[in-house]
């Protein structure tokens, strides 16, 4: 059985960490969707590594970063798993590690062996998720004791917090920066355009709001809550990102999807 524990870290001093997750599994098989999330995730696998199913099967590395992806992917876990995940603000991550996320077309980005292998090795010796979170936090502080947010960070936070109910133009106006420069830097430091991030944020919030999938879901009401033009717009956007219609998605057992996507209640 796949289990996970999530620790929220919002407001951390280094501005990078949004939260941490721990996944454990013992000799069973799980295969389901990993849904797009509005942040990047640093993944550290200490036991057996999962497989991503795309055009071909790819066994994932021991450590890497998952950028913001625009479409759901299929993950398979088999055997013994001990995985630690650090969810990060993409705008801070890209600036801190000097990575242009717009140049990544893959569903994962390989990390520097020189910088991250010693960290992976130290994290592997720690069995407590809180100890691992503390270890990673110390690692970040050695790179940058103080981080000063800029207009790109501000726009990212505004979209995540208010993008579901506020227009992109209004959010960008609040950042007091050149629109063209802000847009170019935003794409470089998140890997997606603001509108794509808003779509992902909107679907994530709607998906998390569904507490009881055994009850009949009013998709028209969901479309209204998400500020879609109409129900057809909602269904098309949902299918484009999740890979299936809302009716099909919510009819099946979503426990593993919730765990893999860090949205279990």
Query: CATH code at 172?
Result: 1.10.10.60
23, 114: one domain:
yes
Question: What's the number of CA atoms in the CB half-sphere (13 Å) around residue 231?
Answer: 9
How far, in Å, are 17, 35, 159, 173, 183 from residue 193 at the CA level? 22, 18, 11, 16, 7
Q: 83, 118, 143: which is the final residue of a domain?
A: 143
Residues 75 and 169 in one domain: no
Residues 21, 73 within the same domain: yes
Greater model confidence, 208 or 61: 61
113 and 72 fall within a common domain: yes
pLDDT for position 190:
96
DSSP helix/strand/coil, 129: helix
- pLDDT, one tens digit per residue, over 95-149 is 999 999 998 777 889 999 999 999 999 999 998 889 999 999 999 988 876 788 9
Specify which residues 59 forms β-bridges with. 51
Do residues 88 and 191 lie in contact, with contact meaning Cβ atoms separated by under 8 Å?
no
81: containing domain = 3-143
Query: Residues 87-100: pLDDT tens digits?
Result: 999 999 999 999 99
If one counts the domains in the chain, the total is: 2
Of 146, 186, 153, the residue nearest 12 (C-alpha): 146
CATH of the domain at 101: 2.60.120.10
For residues 44 and 49, what is the distance between their CA atoms, to the nearest angstrom?
9
Residues 157 and 122 in one domain: no
In this structure, are 130 and 220 located in the same domain?
no
pLDDT exceeds cutoff 70 at 20: yes
Q: What ranges in the chain are assigned the alpha helix state H?
A: 90-96, 113-124, 129-143, 151-162, 168-173, 179-190, 194-208, 219-225, 231-242, 246-251, 255-260
Residues 88 and 109 in one domain: yes
Contact 156, 186 (CB under 8 A): yes
Confidence bin at 160 (pLDDT 50/70/90): very high
> Is 161 part of any domain?
yes
User: Please, which pLDDT band fits residue 186 given cuts at 50, 70 and 90?
Assistant: very high
Which pLDDT score, from 0 to 100, does residue 231 have?
A: 92
Final residue belonging to a domain, choices 93, 108, 143: 143
């Amino acid at each position: 059985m796949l289990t996970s524990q999530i620790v929220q870290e919002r407001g951390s001093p280094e501005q990078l960490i949004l939260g941490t997750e721990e996944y454990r599994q013992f000799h069973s098989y799980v295969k389901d969707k990993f849904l797009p999330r509005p942040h990047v995730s640093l993944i550290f696998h200490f036991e057996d590594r999962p497989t991503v199913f795309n055009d071909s099967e790819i066994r994932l590395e021991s450590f890497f970063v998952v950028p913001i992806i625009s479409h759901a992917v299929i993950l398979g876990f088999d055997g013994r798993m001990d995985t630690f995940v650090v969810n990060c603000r993409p705008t801070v991550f890209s600036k801190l590690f000097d990575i242009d996320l717009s140049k990544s077309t893959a569903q994962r980005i390989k990390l520097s062996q020189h910088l991250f292998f010693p960290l992976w090795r130290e994290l592997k010796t720690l069995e407590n998720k809180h100890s691992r979170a503390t270890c990673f936090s110390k690692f970040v502080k050695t790179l940058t004791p103080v981080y000063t947010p800029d207009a790109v960070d501000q726009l990212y936070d505004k979209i995540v917090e208010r993008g579901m109910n506020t227009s992109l133009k209004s959010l960008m106006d609040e950042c007091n920066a050149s629109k063209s420069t802000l847009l170019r830097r935003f794409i470089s430091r998140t890997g997606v355009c603001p509108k794509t991030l808003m779509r992902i944020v909107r679907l994530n919030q709607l998906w998390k709001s569904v507490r009881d999938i055994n009850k009949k879901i009013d998709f028209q009401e969901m479309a209204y809550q998400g500020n879609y033009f109409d129900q057809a717009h909602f269904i098309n956007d949902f299918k484009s990102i999740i890979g299936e219609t809302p009716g099909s998605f919510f009819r099946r057992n979503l426990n593993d999807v919730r765990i893999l996507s860090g949205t279990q209640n």
